[in-house]
Every structure is written in structure tokens, then in C-alpha cells.
Amino acid sequence: MSRACCYFLALNCVSWLSSGCIISPPDEQVPLPQIPPRINIDSVTPTPFAYVTTLTTGPAPSFTAEFVSEDLGVEVVGKLYLNLDDAGEALIGSTSMGAGSLDSVRPPMTIYWEGMRETAGCYAITMTITYGTNYDEERISKPVDHSKTAYVTWWVAHGIAPEDLNFESCPQPNPQPQ
């Protein structure tokens, strides 16, 4: 092989080895969307599929729900309401939890019925779980954007024997949160 031929091959090999892969630059990373809380209904205690009996005295009853969400650094807040969206609605408990992600395992959200337990009656107790920034602090502190809120409701016979409970006197659920 001639010297010119070897020189030609060497130049072509070197230029081929020195060229990098032709790949376009990566697309700009799109931030993950914030995914609102979703309650695992099978984990809710007490079960929302039967009425709950509570006492007007003694330890505060607790309401618990496991949930998942992609919070993107925003605190998650749970609130417990007596007869939500009714004329006699009242905030009766709340708690908060640090931000998490869909991949994180969190403890369940547990809220205690802290106030207004003196009067026996039939009540709808509703737990809301949403971002702390989604509550309207001007009024009763209800969620502003319902699409970013998880709800679970229990019908509670409070201080009433189950045989004396008249469901006609219980507040009826609203089909859509107001």
C-alpha cells in the first residue's frame, strides 16, 4: 500500500473517530403537575358505609383517611366539618401534614372531633383534604377549588342510641360541594 493511500485512510479514520454523535439537545423539562389529594376509601376509619355512633362525653372521636397526592412542596391540610354546606356548619377539627409525592408513603390523615360535642343529634361529618393554599380563610375556612379537594363524609349518631336514630332528621348530603 502506498504512503499516500495510508495517509488518506489515516485522515479519514481520525476524522470519523473524532466526530461526536449528532443528537439534538434535550427538550426543556416540563415541571410535574400538582396532583390533588385522592382518598383511598378502603382505608377510611370509621367506615363511611355505615352510620357511626359517638358519645357526647369521653375521648374525642377520630376520623382517619389514607390519601395520595403530588404536592410539589405545598403543605396538605385536613379539616373536619359538622354539617358542611348547611346553615349550621361548623369547623370542628383540623390537622396538617408536610408535602409529599405520589412515591412517598405517608401516615394516614387523622382528625379529632375537637369541639361542639355537647349536643346529641344526627350529623354529617365531612373531612376535606387539600393544599393549605386552597382554603378560604375569610369565612369558615372551606376549600376554594373543589377539583383540588378530596372529601369523605360520615353520618354520625352522636349521643343517640342506634335504635332511637331517625335518619329523616339527619342532614342530607349535597350532591356537589358548594
pTM: 0.76
DSSP state of 17: H
CB 97 within 8 A of CB 75: yes
CATH number of the domain enclosing 149: 2.60.40.150
The answer to whether residue 162 sits within a structural domain is yes
The answer to whether residue 19 sits within a structural domain is no
Q: Count the domains in the chain.
A: 1
Q: How far apart are alpha carbons 128 and 82 in whole angstroms?
A: 12
The answer to whether residue 26 sits within a structural domain is no
The answer to whether residue 12 sits within a structural domain is no
| DSSP calls for 86-149 | STT-EEEEEEEE----TT---PPEEEE--S--SS-EEEEEEEEEEEGGGEETTTT-EES-GGG-
The answer to whether residue 18 sits within a structural domain is no
The answer to whether residue 109 sits within a structural domain is yes
pLDDT on residue 16:
47
Model confidence over 18-52: pLDDT tens digits? 455 577 776 777 777 888 999 999 999 999 998 88
pLDDT on residue 2:
59
CB 131 within 8 A of CB 145: no
The answer to whether residue 10 sits within a structural domain is no
Q: How far apart are alpha carbons 104 and 12 in whole angstroms?
A: 54
Cα–Cα nearest to 32, from 100, 98, 129, 134:
100
Average pLDDT over residues 122-142: 85
What domain range includes position 153? 35-169
The answer to whether residue 28 sits within a structural domain is no
